[in-house]
A and B are shown apart, each in its own frame.
Chain A
Amino acid sequence: MPVIDLATTPLREFNSALHNIQKGSNDLSYEVANPRGSHAVAVGIDGPVMVDVNGSVGYYCAGMNDGGTVTVHGSAGPGVAENMMSGKVVIEGDASQYAGATGRGGLLVIKGNAASRCGISMKGIDIVVHGNIGHMSAFMGQSGHLVVLGDAGDALGDSLYEAKLFVRGAVKSLGADCIEKEMRPEHLQKLAELLEKADAKGVRPEEFKRYGSARKLYNFNIDNADAY
């Protein structure tokens, strides 16, 4: 397995190597040493590549991932797995602001805590956070699932569209148009599946509450015309 030492190899060279992997290649696993908070590590993967990063990363790690599996054995800075298309990103430590923002698919697992705006404008990505999430998470979430084993900060799901939110702990406050919803069998089943994929052991789907959109904000209401 190639080991890329970012103390000696320029990041651009490493990311280019990931982009240039040919279809059918057997060299699909990479290990990264000394990331030391570098930005944009393993951004733009577009195949079934495995990357293990040994240490903490900065902004936008694994952004736009399409089919890769990226594991960060440390913490991640702002915008981890932003706009992921498919594949899996695992952060063993904490994640900073807007983890998984605008993600269209794939699975993001954060084993520690996530900061504010986790899953902002999510569009199909599944996000599982083992710890807590910060304020304004899932703001304008359009589709996909956000699962939180710990607590959620202020204004969860503000201006939410159709993303489904599951929180086990306390929710500090719900954002505009976000309400608690009934947990039906299909939700319990989906949640069980996500918890298993995210390696969340000793947690039962029944312990979670589901939150979603009241759908009062996102269609124009003619009775409000005077307000404009």
Chain B
Amino acid sequence: MCGIVGLFLKDSRLEPQLGQLLSDMLITMTDRGPDSAGLAIYGSATEGKAKVTIQSAKPDIDFADLERDLAEAGLPARVAVKSTHAVVAVAAARLADVRSVLAAIRPDVRIMGAGDSVEIYKEVGLPKDVVARFDIRSMSGSHGIGHTRMATESAVTTLGAHPFSTGSDQCLVHNGSLSNHNNLRRELIREGIAFETQNDTEVAAAYLTAEMAKGKDLGQALTGALDDLDGFFTFVVGTKSGFGVVRDPIACKPAVMAETDRYVAFGSEYRALVNLPDIESARIWEPEPATVYFWDHQKAA
């Protein structure tokens, strides 16, 4: 089944509440999937800096002295630990080096996502526990997406949790199941893309990354997904400044959206939206099948 939520703020005065609002939305969707939960939060970017969210099954060992060990490996970084996750902040020019240095000095650490502004937190367990463990409520940001999983494809593991991030500042959450993901995975591997799981959603995320690497914007990549991905899907995606929604042509997975002057919100069910400010006066609608919806801070500005 799965439950997905998303919130894209137009009014920057709401930004300090992003974590709080998104947490409540996701917890409301708990009964759509109890296996794992995750959130991606787009916070403020620092000029010239990039960050990588990493996860460890043994955070006490892996994260101890990580800052020092990174420096010794020639990669100056700041490490902020949150439970099983840590956010490694480096100079933007060094972002590509983080993967290789970590693989050398901390081979068991997994990279959840990277970019200028995104932080991704996901674990096995209920949304309320994931939200509390990573103190999501205290986070501010411009937009974010969340997912609570009922596993249908691939194992119940931290890596099998959503959001899936396969490109810088990109991430995707999915309700549904894809039927041509194995073929598509093989094609993407031939194009040089690496996969970490057998999960169908990771293929969808990687597909979008690959299409955007060819020069498409997210809207164009999502339009292409309608032709190239087979199966049931409702996707909610985030980019550094954008937020998109698309459903397959059959559109049997539920979706409801709300828009006011201050935000755009997505929920698998209307229940997820009822605590948002001024929801009573929001325009509320069900996204049409095979139709791409997309908002972008940069385009709005």
Do these two chains interact? yes
Binding site for B on A (CB under 8 A): 36-38, 56, 58-59, 75, 77-78, 94, 96-97, 115-116, 134-135
B-chain residues with CB within 8 Å of residue A58 when the two chains form the complex: 269-271
Q: Does the CB pair B289–A116 fall under 8 Å? A: yes
Q: Does the CB pair B271–A37 fall under 8 Å? A: yes
Q: Does the CB pair A94–B286 fall under 8 Å? A: yes
Distance in angstroms between the alpha carbons of A77 and B267 in the assembled complex = 12
B-chain residues with CB within 8 Å of residue A75 when the two chains form the complex: 270, 284
Q: Does the CB pair B286–A115 fall under 8 Å? A: yes
Chain B minimum-CB-distance residue to A136: B250
Other-chain contact of B286, A37, A59, A96 (Cβ < 8 Å)? A96
Please tell me the size bucket of the interface on B: 10 to 19
Q: Does the CB pair A38–B271 fall under 8 Å? A: yes
B-chain residues with CB within 8 Å of residue A37 when the two chains form the complex: 269-274
Distance in angstroms between the alpha carbons of A36 and B285 in the assembled complex = 16
Main secondary structure of the interface of A (DSSP, over half): loop
Q: Does B254 contact A (CB under 8 A)?
A: yes
Contact with A along B217-258 (1 / 0, CB 8 A): 000000000000000000000000000000000011010100
Distance in angstroms between the alpha carbons of A209 and B254 in the assembled complex = 31
Chain B minimum-CB-distance residue to A93: B284
6 closest A-B pairs by beta carbon, nearest first, are A37-B271, A37-B270, A36-B274, A115-B286, A56-B270, A58-B269
Chain A minimum-CB-distance residue to B288: A134
A-chain residues with CB within 8 Å of residue B285 when the two chains form the complex: 94
Q: Does the CB pair B270–A97 fall under 8 Å? A: no
Show 16 residue pairs from A and B whose CB-CB distance is below 8 angstroms, ordered by the A residue: A37-B269, A37-B273, A38-B271, A59-B269, A75-B270, A75-B284, A77-B269, A96-B256, A96-B286, A97-B252, A97-B286, A115-B286, A116-B252, A116-B289, A134-B288, A135-B251
Known contacts A37-B269, A96-B254, A97-B252: does B274 contact A135 (CB below 8 Å)? no
Distance in angstroms between the alpha carbons of A58 and B256 in the assembled complex = 11
Q: Total A-B pairs in contact (CB under 8 Å)?
A: 39
Binding site for A on B (CB under 8 A): 251-252, 254, 256, 269-274, 284-286, 288-289
Chain A minimum-CB-distance residue to B254: A78
B32 to chain A, nearest CB (A): 11
Known contacts A36-B274, A58-B270: does B289 contact A77 (CB below 8 Å)? no
A219 to chain B, nearest CB (A): 28
Distance in angstroms between the alpha carbons of A38 and B274 in the assembled complex = 11
Distance in angstroms between the alpha carbons of A134 and B254 in the assembled complex = 14
Distance in angstroms between the alpha carbons of A94 and B286 in the assembled complex = 9
A-chain residues with CB within 8 Å of residue B269 when the two chains form the complex: 37, 58-59, 77
B-chain residues with CB within 8 Å of residue A135 when the two chains form the complex: 251, 289
B298 to chain A, nearest CB (A): 32
Q: Which of A37, A94, A116 has the most chain B CB atoms closer than 10 A to its own CB? A: A37
Chain B minimum-CB-distance residue to A135: B289
Q: Does the CB pair B252–A36 fall under 8 Å? A: no
Distance in angstroms between the alpha carbons of A38 and B269 in the assembled complex = 10
Distance in angstroms between the alpha carbons of A94 and B256 in the assembled complex = 11
B-chain residues with CB within 8 Å of residue A115 when the two chains form the complex: 286
A-chain residues with CB within 8 Å of residue B284 when the two chains form the complex: 75, 94
Q: Does the CB pair B251–A77 fall under 8 Å? A: no
Distance in angstroms between the alpha carbons of A152 and B270 in the assembled complex = 24
B55 to chain A, nearest CB (A): 33
Q: Which of A38, A56, A94 has the most chain B CB atoms closer than 10 A to its own CB? A: A56
Distance in angstroms between the alpha carbons of A134 and B271 in the assembled complex = 22
B45 to chain A, nearest CB (A): 35
B-chain residues with CB within 8 Å of residue A56 when the two chains form the complex: 270
Distance in angstroms between the alpha carbons of A38 and B230 in the assembled complex = 32
A9 to chain B, nearest CB (A): 17
A-chain residues with CB within 8 Å of residue B288 when the two chains form the complex: 134
Give me 15 other A-B pairs in contact (C-beta within 8 A), A77-B256, A78-B254 excluded.
A36-B274, A37-B274, A38-B271, A56-B270, A75-B284, A94-B285, A96-B256, A96-B286, A97-B252, A97-B254, A97-B286, A116-B251, A116-B289, A134-B288, A134-B289
Distance in angstroms between the alpha carbons of A78 and B251 in the assembled complex = 12
B256 to chain A, nearest CB (A): 7
Chain A minimum-CB-distance residue to B270: A37
Distance in angstroms between the alpha carbons of A78 and B284 in the assembled complex = 15
A-chain residues with CB within 8 Å of residue B271 when the two chains form the complex: 36-38, 58
Q: Does the CB pair B270–A77 fall under 8 Å? A: yes
B89 to chain A, nearest CB (A): 39
Distance in angstroms between the alpha carbons of A214 and B222 in the assembled complex = 38
Chain B minimum-CB-distance residue to A98: B252
Distance in angstroms between the alpha carbons of A59 and B254 in the assembled complex = 10
B-chain residues with CB within 8 Å of residue A94 when the two chains form the complex: 284-286
